[in-house]
Structure 1
Amino acid sequence: MWAIRRASLRIKSQSLPSVTFRACNVNIDTTSSSGMDNTPLPVFDGSLLLSRFYSQSRGPQGSFIGNHSFCSQAGSETEKESIKEADMSGSESESESESELDLLDAEEETVENSERERRGSSGLFKAVAESSTMTVKKALDKWVEEGHDLSKSEISYALFELRRRRMYGKALQLSEWLESQGKVEFSERDYASRIDLIAKIRGTQKAEAYIEKIPESFKGEIVYRTLLANCVVNNDIKKAERVFNKMKDLSLPVTSFACNQLLLLYKRTDKKKIADVLLLMEKENVKPSLFTYRLLIETKGMSNDITGMEQVLETMKAEGLEPDLRLQAVLARQYIYAGMKEKAKEILKEMEGNNLNENRGAWSSLLSIYTLLGSEDDVKRVWDACKSNPRVEECINAIEAFGKLKKVEEAEAVFDQMSKKWKRLSSKHYTCMLKVYANNKMLVKGKEIVKQMSESGCRLGALTWDALVKLYIESGEIEKADSVLNKASQQFQVKPLFATYMMILDHYAKKGDVHNAEKIFHKMRLAGYVSRYRQYDSLLQAYINAKVPTYGFRERLKADNVFPSKALAARMEQVDAFKKTAVSDLLD
């Protein structure tokens, strides 16, 4: 069978957290073929995928499994990976996008079959969307009293549009109202949709508690994988692993969706465990999906292993899968990060196709990728194709693109066009323009756009506060940025993003302000951001720049289960209060 099966036998009857053996202990025969007989289609060769995933551009192939370039070089690659992750975070959130699209597709399918032509005219959606948070129930009661349609397609359309507009609170109120009325029979997907909404609004703990109230016959794989996806969005490793293991305990099928969620989680938090998931997929005969390969390709690219990335791509094609636009965008970005601009341009040419005007699906990605290349002419060319009848996403990407290219007037022109086309903009749209002003250190205009947001009734969410903090930091007002962060977390009950805290922590570290760096570090812990390598790396830099000795730094790392790289350990020596020197040895 598979050459790797001998090692994967250790997985039997074990829960995932305990299956953390290292791939370097596995002997992999990369020349052996897959043993799936009588199958006309290409099959998942776990040995080949693992070997392609861990192969290195340098050194003999026989040693690639033990290298683990992703994690062993954490110190030297941290800054590069942070830059890449920052660039890609605006383009997509894979975990949320896959789980969200899965639920959206299910709701849209009902709409599509019978009433798609009525889009934009749904009375139920308008009744919910136009009501305030406090009056949704009244609006729905009135809707029924007036004798309006409450068909499955009408409900599915309303939920679809509320989700698409990220109006999760109102979508949850609609779902709860429907269940309380008892007029609609819930399916497993309906329960999964409710769990997803609860997790987004009230947290995964409340969502998990709701599962206990669901009839046993509906507690299937879709329900649990929805909870799993939300745990991954929150980077909650322990809970995600616990949910995955519960799915196995309940004998629910192990799907590529669930495995992809774990791959995404470990891609962010512990790349060593990726091999464990691939071994599990092999054991359970779970074929990697296009999403699986996209995660692996991106992980290889972010570790600067372009050869390995291309080998994983070859394996994917051998399985009969071809890159879609999203995977092509990942490839193009990774080539740019690696300085291989010509290869990136080849991918972009494939994305454009023979006629750019007829390939609208690629426009949004092209705008952001051409920006990475610094190609102003290409950004303008793509926007010219969009601007006669742009979509919201295209407008946002164009604003971001022009902003990064320092073309603020062009970004403002796109924002004005967007404001005229869609009378009521959300905080996401205003925040996009706010980022442009922040990146270009335009404090006055930044304050004006925040004022417009407030006057239009937009809620200032975590992304808005992130942009506002950056605006003040870029303008040299670190104290004001710190104050803004306090207001966001206390007065407005908003949990700031991890990146928002890190902006301020990095700035204090650069100044050598140990007191305030420690203060922000503590606030991050209170906010639920368990200490990571990145936080400690920045905090240590504050001590180094202040030329102040540290006490118990190694013990703090150990307590948080953070293992220092060689680079971090070397920097710790610089400020170790008990560092041994020739003089100290004599005195001792």
Structure 2
Amino acid sequence: MWALRRASTPLRNQGYRVRTSYVFGKLEVPYFWEGNVAGFGTAAALSDRFIYFDRNNLTTWPSSEVYISSHGLSTQAGAENSGEEGNVEDGCSELDETLPSTSPLEDSKTADDNEEELTSGSEIDDDDDVVDDGTQNELDLPEGETGLVEKISIKRAPSELLNVIWKAPGLTVSSALDKWVSEGKELSRDDISSAMLNLRKCRMYGKALQFSEWLETSGKLDFIENDYASRLYLIGKLRGLRMAENYIAKIPKSFQGEVVYQTLLVNCVIASNVHKAEKVFNKMKNLEFPITAFACNQLLLLYKRTDKRKIADVLLLMKKENVKYSTSTYRILIDVNGLSNDITGMEEVVDSMKAEGIKLDVETLSRLVKHYVSGGLKDKAKAVLKEMEEINSEGSRRPCRILLPLYGELQMEDEVRRLWEICESNPHIEECMAAIVAWGKLKNVQEAEKIFDRVVKTGEKLSARHYSTMLNVYREDSKMLTKGKEVVKQMAESGCRMDPFTLDAVVKLYVEAGEVEKADSFLVKAVLQNKKKPMFTTYITLMDRYASRGDVPNVEKNFAMMRRLGYVGRLSQFQTLIQAYVNAKAPAYGMRERMKADNVFPNKDLAGKLAQVDCLKMRKVSDLLD
């Protein structure tokens, strides 16, 4: 699927190298770990525990027969923070993939097909919505048997039902729908599917949930399992896992099937809740649901962000249960290797795909380009880009939105200009955004501004995401803070509410300009005003800058805030926190206990930092004795 995706840059990892060898299918694939990254030929930090799978239980088990060999360190800089969090900017974000389609009321494949036709007019913020932090963008929910809808574009053909929900203020969706039905309007499942699909695509999750609740309580739709799953997904996303689990208890037993539990598993992965995800996975096995590639992919995505040592165990389970890798499985493994800068391992995954007869689509190829660029292999990246253009030999413009940023990343100005000239006479708004990203990477702010001004003058209602695209161009230059503030003011005057992506861009804009305290103050005020959860990388950006100064109090303050928001137990948080103590030359009392309480185990780099602060403790005691 052609999609403009936010670029992500992985953080370099380093650590002990541990190796054992397993056979997957026809290919014997070495499994390494180093720097907490695992997969085909990948490396990860040594630990004495790993996830053990059997048919009945998913539990932790002491590892054995692991041997260490000395090896060089693997490094790769970027925003992924040791691969802990991609966020959307891939960062908070991971790689921005297709929006999940929980598809009780919509078909996931159709959702993917339709994403590209959504325009700025459809991307409307809702006061009650929770904007994705990016982590769930890789989650493709299972296809349902109902709710199949044809390709639609909200801009081109908004339904009457969708308009009613769309225009209903605040929490009045049910009242608006009651009035609409009282006027003699009829509801078909196709209309419902179409409206739900587009609400989800616009990230109007609050209204989507109100709509789903109204459908169930009013009896206007005879709910089947997929419909219950749709509501479950929205409850989990907006109200948390506990409320989602409570809702399952209210679903009739006859509809508490595989789709419902798969959806709950997705919610657990979105929340990065390892304990609950493993619990749900085990329950699905206990209920004797088949182990599917979809369910295993959710665990792979979760472990990619939280504990890459467990990835090999998921792959072993898939082999044991004869679960065939899906395209999504291979994509995840490509990213795992790419993020650890293991290009050889990544290419082995690609060879395995080809051996299985799986054709590499543009989505997969674009990932390869990003990892080649991150690894400094520009010639290989250019060759893949050429292959991507050959796939589109029919001359469609749709690839432009994904190719433009990639050519910008490679500093190929002539190619960026060539592609933009194809679109320039009548550009789609997402093509404009892609061109802005590309010119930003080329440091050509003037060209980016020219395109953004053109978009603004069209009169389209822009989303926060569009403004954040321009903000990210300005943050590449520390002298552009004033212009960035002007964009934020322009955004406010347009009535567009700030979302986590825009908030992240503004915070980074301040930080890059050296105004960390202002960035911190802005973040606090924005959270209080918008009541939306900032991205993981937003806080890490602040913590990293404070840590570089040895400002322990402010690092601890942001660390505590992340815990309150649910960002708990991630290696990168402790890496930054302990670095602050190292730079401050201050002892970190109780740090090992804090890490143990969060089930975080140090890799080689972090163990070295802990040793440094331990020495500071000894020095303090020695000073007292003197």
Is TM (by shorter chain) over 0.5? yes
Query: Where does residue 510 of structure 1 map in the other structure?
Result: 548
Distance in 1 between residues matched to 2:450 and 2:154, nearest whole Å? 32
Query: Where does residue 43 of structure 2 map in the other structure?
Result: 69
Deviations 1:346-384 (A, max 9, x none): 110010117667243432221222122122222222222
Distance in 2 between residues matched to 1:173 and 1:159, nearest whole Å? 11
Deviation at residue 557 of structure 1 after TM alignment? 2.8
* Residue 267 (structure 1) aligned with residue 301 (structure 2): no
The more displaced of 351-360 and 146-155 is 351-360
Distance in 1 between residues matched to 2:40 and 2:441, nearest whole Å? 40
Query: Where does residue 179 of structure 1 map in the other structure?
Result: 216
Distance in 2 between residues matched to 1:580 and 1:302, nearest whole Å? 37
User: Counterparts in 2 of 1:55-454, with a 5 A limit?
Assistant: 69-72=43-46, 77=75, 79=77, 82=80, 85=86, 88-89=90-91, 92-94=95-97, 96-97=99-100, 103-105=107-109, 110=147, 112=149, 120-353=157-390, 358-421=395-458, 423-441=460-478, 442-454=480-492
Query: Where does residue 537 of structure 1 map in the other structure?
Result: 575
1:476 pairs, out of 511, 514, 537, with 514
Query: Where does residue 7 of structure 2 map in the other structure?
Result: none
* Residue 54 (structure 1) aligned with residue 43 (structure 2): no
Contact 1:24-1:65 at 8 Å conserved across structures? no
Deviation at residue 95 of structure 1 after TM alignment? 8.1
* AA at the equivalent of 1:462: P
Contact 1:122-1:154 at 8 Å conserved across structures? yes
Distance in 2 between residues matched to 1:420 and 1:116, nearest whole Å? 22
TM-aligned CA distance change 1:495 to 1:135, over 3 Å: same
TM-aligned CA distance change 1:396 to 1:203, over 3 Å: farther
Deviation at residue 216 of structure 1 after TM alignment? 1.6
TM-aligned CA distance change 1:26 to 1:344, over 3 Å: closer
Distance in 1 between residues matched to 2:567 and 2:617, nearest whole Å? 30
Deviation at residue 506 of structure 1 after TM alignment? 0.6
TM-aligned CA distance change 1:265 to 1:116, over 3 Å: closer
* Residue 575 (structure 1) aligned with residue 552 (structure 2): no
Deviations 1:106-138 (A, max 9, x none): 678856469999961411111111221233223
Distance in 2 between residues matched to 1:313 and 1:115, nearest whole Å? 34
Deviations 1:371-420 (A, max 9, x none): 22122222222222233343343332222222232222222222233334
The more displaced of 302-311 and 259-268 is 302-311
Deviation at residue 74 of structure 1 after TM alignment? 12
Query: Where does residue 490 of structure 1 map in the other structure?
Result: 528
Deviation at residue 551 of structure 1 after TM alignment? 2.6
Distance in 1 between residues matched to 2:409 and 2:596, nearest whole Å? 38
The structure that has the greater radius of gyration is 1
The more displaced of 406-415 and 507-516 is 406-415
Q: Report how many aligned residue pairs link the two structures.
A: 541
The more displaced of 468-477 and 268-277 is 468-477
Distance in 2 between residues matched to 1:116 and 1:488, nearest whole Å? 32
The more displaced of 315-324 and 64-73 is 64-73
Distance in 2 between residues matched to 1:357 and 1:106, nearest whole Å? 22
TM-aligned CA distance change 1:480 to 1:288, over 3 Å: same
Distance in 2 between residues matched to 1:68 and 1:111, nearest whole Å? 40
Tell me the secondary structure at the aligned position of residue 577 of structure 2: helix
Query: Where does residue 565 of structure 2 map in the other structure?
Result: 527
Contact 1:111-1:154 at 8 Å conserved across structures? no
TM-aligned CA distance change 1:402 to 1:299, over 3 Å: same
Deviation at residue 48 of structure 1 after TM alignment? 4.4
Contact 2:21-2:31 at 8 Å conserved across structures? no
Query: Where does residue 119 of structure 2 map in the other structure?
Result: none
Distance in 1 between residues matched to 2:19 and 2:550, nearest whole Å? 43
Tell me the secondary structure at the aligned position of residue 120 of structure 1: coil
Contact 1:371-1:401 at 8 Å conserved across structures? yes
Query: Where does residue 537 of structure 2 map in the other structure?
Result: 499
TM-aligned CA distance change 1:412 to 1:299, over 3 Å: same
Unaligned runs of 5+ in 1: 1-22, 31-45, 58-63
Distance in 2 between residues matched to 1:281 and 1:526, nearest whole Å? 35
Tell me the secondary structure at the aligned position of residue 54 of structure 1: strand
Distance in 2 between residues matched to 1:114 and 1:524, nearest whole Å? 40
Deviation at residue 475 of structure 1 after TM alignment? 2.1
Distance in 1 between residues matched to 2:544 and 2:152, nearest whole Å? 52
The more displaced of 528-537 and 412-421 is 412-421
Contact 1:364-1:394 at 8 Å conserved across structures? yes
Query: Where does residue 10 of structure 1 map in the other structure?
Result: none
Deviation at residue 502 of structure 1 after TM alignment? 0.6
Distance in 2 between residues matched to 1:434 and 1:117, nearest whole Å? 26
Query: Where does residue 559 of structure 1 map in the other structure?
Result: 597
Deviation at residue 172 of structure 1 after TM alignment? 1.4
TM-aligned CA distance change 1:349 to 1:539, over 3 Å: same
Tell me the secondary structure at the aligned position of residue 52 of structure 1: strand
TM-aligned CA distance change 1:118 to 1:513, over 3 Å: closer
* AA at the equivalent of 2:455: M
The more displaced of 295-304 and 90-99 is 90-99
Distance in 2 between residues matched to 1:487 and 1:471, nearest whole Å? 16
Distance in 2 between residues matched to 1:143 and 1:457, nearest whole Å? 27
Distance in 2 between residues matched to 1:528 and 1:569, nearest whole Å? 25
* AA at the equivalent of 1:82: E
Contact 1:469-1:485 at 8 Å conserved across structures? yes
Deviations 1:320-359 (A, max 9, x none): 1111111111111111112111111111001011766724
Deviations 1:243-301 (A, max 9, x none): 11111111122211111111111111111111111111122221100110111111112
Distance in 2 between residues matched to 1:48 and 1:216, nearest whole Å? 41
Tell me the secondary structure at the aligned position of residue 444 of structure 1: helix
TM-aligned CA distance change 1:396 to 1:117, over 3 Å: closer
Higher relative contact order (CA 8 A, sep 6+): 2
* AA at the equivalent of 2:242: Q
Distance in 2 between residues matched to 1:117 and 1:555, nearest whole Å? 52
Tell me the secondary structure at the aligned position of residue 576 of structure 1: helix
Unaligned runs of 5+ in 2: 1-16, 47-70, 115-145
The more displaced of 540-549 and 248-257 is 540-549
Deviations 1:5-31 (A, max 9, x none): xxxxxxxxxxxxxxxxxx989774x5x
Tell me the secondary structure at the aligned position of residue 203 of structure 2: coil
